[in-house]
């Protein structure tokens, strides 16, 4: 790929990240006009205010969303592989069908989030609150990494591979 094409793509990505940082209303208006996939790989959005943002089918591979407010966000079918979501607020988020392979969700608040068919293989759920999350299955949890502090819905068993108490 020629350098000019790479620079063009990087410029578009920066413009999209700037638009996203400007607020959910502006971003959602853009998404209403452009509902397809959107590339935001490697985005640095730590502490971003993204409540109600439409990020469905967004590629956020390897992005930094630490401590982001993603309450009520749509992350349906998003690619969030290796994304840092440590300590993020994902309450009421629609994460159905998203790919969270090796994502860091440690300490995240996922209460009332929808996680149906979400790919959680090697996702770090240590200390996350999934106590009222919807759509989770034992198979999804068995593929994820959790610990004794991970809060699960009452109807789901804690995977045997997860530590049951603080390791010595």
Q: What is the pLDDT of residue 115?
A: 98
- Share of the chain residues as helix, strand and coil, in percent rounded to the nearest 5: 20, 15, 65
Checking if the pLDDT of 23 tops 70, the result is yes
Task: Answer for the pair 72, 52: CB distance below 8 angstroms, yes or no.
Answer: yes
| pLDDT interval class at 1 (50, 70, 90) | very low
DSSP, residue by residue, the chain: --HHHHHHHHHHHHHHHHHHHT-HHHHHHHHHH--S-EE-TT-B-TT-B-TT-B-TTEE-TT-B-TT-B-TT-B-TT-B-TT-B-TT-B-TT-B-TT-B-TT-B-TT-B-TT-B-TT-B-TT-B-TT-B-TT-BS--HHHHHHSB--TT-B--TTSPPPTTS-SS---
Global confidence as pTM: 0.90
Q: pLDDT tens across 112-160, in order? A: 999 999 999 999 999 999 999 999 999 999 999 999 999 999 999 999 9
Checking if the pLDDT of 37 tops 80, the result is yes
Q: What is the pLDDT of residue 4?
A: 38
Q: pLDDT tens across 42-75, in order? A: 999 999 999 999 999 999 999 999 999 999 999 9
Domains and CATH numbers, the chain: 1-155 (2.160.20.80)
Beta partners for residue 104, in sequence order:
84, 124
């Amino acid at each position: 790929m020629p350098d000019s094409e790479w620079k063009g793509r990087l410029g578009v990505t920066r413009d999209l990240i700037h638009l996203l940082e400007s607020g959910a209303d502006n971003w959602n208006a853009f998404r209403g006009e452009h509902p397809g996939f959107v590339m935001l790989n490697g985005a640095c959005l730590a502490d971003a205010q993204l409540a109600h943002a439409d990020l469905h089918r967004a590629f956020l591979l390897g992005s930094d969303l630490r401590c982001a407010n993603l309450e009520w966000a749509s992350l349906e079918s998003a690619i969030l592989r290796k994304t840092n979501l440590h300590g993020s607020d994902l309450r009421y988020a629609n994460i159905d069908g998203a790919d969270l392979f090796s994502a860091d969700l440690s300490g995240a608040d996922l209460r009332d989030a929808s996680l149906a068919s979400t790919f959680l293989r090697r996702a770090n759920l240590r200390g996350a609150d999934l106590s009222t999350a919807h759509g989770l299955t034992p198979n999804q949890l068995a593929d994820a990494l959790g610990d004794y502090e991970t809060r699960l819905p009452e109807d789901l068993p804690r995977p045997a591979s997860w530590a049951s108490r603080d390791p010595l």
